[in-house]
Chains A and B, each alone.
Chain A
Amino acid sequence: MRRAQPTTAKTVTSGERDATRPQIRDQAELALPSATNRKKSGEAGRTLSDKVIEAHACDEDDTALYRRVNVDAVLGHDATTALLIDDFERRGLSIWDRDRVLLANDHFSPPATAERADISNRFLAFAREREIPNLMLDRGICHQLLVEHQLCQAGGLVVGADSHTIMAGGIGVCATGMGATDILFTLATGTTWLRRPETIAVRFHGALPPGSGGRDVVLALLAILGESGAQYRSLEFHDESTSRLCQDDRFAIANMAVEIGAKFGVFVPDEVTVDYYRKRDGELLGTLVRPDQDAVYERVIDLDLSELDPRVAKPWSPANVVPLRELEPTPITTAFLGSCASGRLSDLRDAAAELTDRKVHPDVRFVVIPASVEVFKQALRAGYVETLTEAGAIVNHSSCGACGGIDKGVLGADDVCVSTSNRNFRGRMGHWDSRTYLASARTVARAAARGVLAPDLYGERRNG
């Protein structure tokens, strides 16, 4: 495993944390529901995920390594749900609560081959026969659709048949990805088994520089922790920064928590979270679960955002991270803005701002895929789609696209891609010899215009 040395991040182990621990901002003034925040006297302080798991436990033995828990919602998409249909039907199972299921065809949307059309049709027939009310046909990437939906509520426990289900942690939800067999079990019972994870607290401080975003933050974290640094653990994010991470940045960070091996990647809810829910639902329907002040953490990481300039992950690991300014100039053939890791309105806004009155370099194909149709509509209204199209970008239908090597821009052997997606694993986006660099939407757009992923994309930068 590669562990790039962090240059702007300071890590503090739990043994040291009391000396350096800044005051956690008192959030009592928000007057938010706190029923599950109460602690019985004499108990060790609990983390956010401890509380959510306990609140959902449906077994008696609270000392068991594995707890059986009720889930609030189940997420599935065409590619993984299709794998469980035969077993589900052969066993004569039925769905425990169809109102708590969200299914979306995002991998094959629309299908590019006859085989995938057949798989898609099988998936759609499964959902329609069971009259799943939340079947989202060609509406975007399931993880974005989940956080746009009322099924996804703060304090909830959500499982999904895709690793990036974890992204709902961006709004205070304990959400985690599983395989088709686990999801089949949950569809039939409304329950699953969870091992109680240890928690790593990550506290953001300082003010994020204007050119940097959530992608740069999570890449910096990957550089510290590596691909397995949070294996089996819950990452609990505390935004104590003065600039405050916007909601889209939080989704970008929570999304890639799974690239660090995490089971949950959950933000402690605050006023940014509350704003999101109020805009989405009109009122706050969920429960804002927060950790105890004396919660027991395996490790505490303090990340100063003030000096965090743009980052890139080089092939073929999302943890192979360097500051962009240290990268050797790398000519690119493809730029991709999309996937559940990005492709949200602020990403499209950043790219449009970079490409206003500019053109995509003639040697580059720039593919843009909004994360959902809702995001696409907002981007249309804001004029971002027109700006990007005038610049020479291709704006495609909301779906996973080339992120998983599916369609709409799969890479050939000689392609070098800079991408806002979450994985640059070898062969993932296409040919085994293709090369993918991960970066923010702003960096992707600048590289698309220059034709080169260059260390001076943000000008000559000071050392630091």
Chain B
Amino acid sequence: MTAIEGRVWLFGDDVNTDVIHPPAFYSLDPDKVRRGLFHGYDPDLQPSLRPGDVLVAGRNFGCGSSRETSIRSIRLNEVGAIVAVDFARIFFRNATNNGLPCLTFADAGDLARLRQGQRITVDPDTAVLHTEDGSVPLTPPGAFVRRIWSAGGLLELLAPG
């Protein structure tokens, strides 16, 4: 997986999927799904995102619903990766299954080293986050997660036929 370069968007703990993608934006229409990202939380956030930007959060990111529209919206907005202290399990599975790298800090205290809008590089393969001030170690993903990433998503593991 290639390294991701972008700006930091900082979030707190327990950011749930209804906040990430409000139910009113549930749709099969990609444009509607894309526009819904964080719409109630901050209507100006989604239009300001640029490809490669990184969501950085505290504990339990993505708790709540299993609706994959939240992952779809993050992907449609070309967010490059999410780095958090930890993730809610359904969200982590959904993101991984869809090839969106979710990485955790090796040391949860490193969250405090990151600033809103700061430019960073995230290298999922080496599990390191680089800032202009130095590098932040991330927890290396397990073999199973790497296997899904390298396949290009869970569905690529389905045997043909």
Chain A residues within 8 Å of B, Cβ to Cβ? 1, 65-66, 79-80, 82-83, 87, 91, 93, 115, 119, 122, 161-163, 177-182, 184-185, 188-189, 193, 227-228, 231-232, 259, 261, 263, 317, 404-406, 423, 425-428, 432
Contacts and interface: CB of A to CB of B under 8 A. Distances in A.
Interface stretch (B21-29, B118-126, B127-135): B21-29
B71 to A, nearest CB: 7
Given A163-B66, A188-B158, A405-B22, 20 more contacts: A80-B68, A83-B67, A163-B64, A178-B94, A179-B67, A179-B93, A180-B68, A180-B94, A181-B154, A227-B14, A227-B60, A231-B60, A261-B88, A261-B89, A404-B23, A405-B18, A425-B19, A426-B41, A428-B18, A428-B22
A182 B63 contact: no
B97 interface: yes
Where chain A touches its partner, the secondary structure class is loop
A227 B67 contact: no
A91 B155 contact: yes
Interface of B: 13-14, 16, 18-19, 22-24, 26-29, 40-41, 59-60, 63-69, 71-72, 86, 88-90, 93-94, 97-98, 142, 144, 153-155, 157-158
A182 B93 contact: yes
A66 B144 contact: yes
B130 to A, nearest CB: 28
Contacts of B64: 163, 423, 425
Interface centre among A79, A163, A317 (most CB of B within 10 A): A163
Contacts of A122: 28
A1 B63 CA distance: 12
Contacts of A178: 66, 90, 93-94
Contacts, number: 122
Contacts of A161: 66
Interface centre among A122, A181, A227 (most CB of B within 10 A): A181
B26 A79 contact: yes
A163 B24 CA distance: 18
Contacts of B69: 83
A341 B140 CA distance: 37
Contacts of B26: 79
B63 A261 contact: yes
B59 A185 contact: no
Contact of A184 (B16, B89, B93, B155): B155
A109 to B, nearest CB: 15
Given A179-B93, A404-B23, A189 B88 contact: no
B153 to A, nearest CB: 7
Nearest to B161: A92
Given A80-B67, A179-B97, A227-B60, A425 B16 contact: yes
20 contacts: A1-B13, A1-B59, A65-B144, A79-B67, A80-B68, A83-B67, A91-B155, A93-B158, A178-B90, A180-B94, A181-B68, A181-B98, A181-B155, A188-B158, A227-B63, A228-B14, A228-B86, A261-B60, A317-B14, A404-B65
Nearest to A161: B66
B18 A228 contact: no
B70 to A, nearest CB: 9
Contacts of A65: 142, 144
Given A91-B155, A93-B158, A231-B86, A425 B68 contact: no
A66 B98 CA distance: 18
Contact of A427 (B13, B22, B59, B65): B22
B90 A163 contact: yes
B89 A231 contact: yes
A93 B160 CA distance: 9
A228 B88 contact: yes
A80 B70 CA distance: 12
Nearest to A108: B26
Contacts of A232: 89
Nearest to A115: B27
A162 B154 contact: no
Nearest to B16: A425
B24 to A, nearest CB: 6
Given A82-B28, A83-B69, A181-B98, A228 B59 contact: yes
Contacts of A405: 18, 22-24
Contacts of B29: 115
A181 B97 contact: yes
Nearest to A107: B26
Nearest to A400: B23
Contacts of A79: 26, 67
Contacts of B41: 426, 432
Contacts of B13: 1
A421 B64 CA distance: 13
Contacts of A189: 158
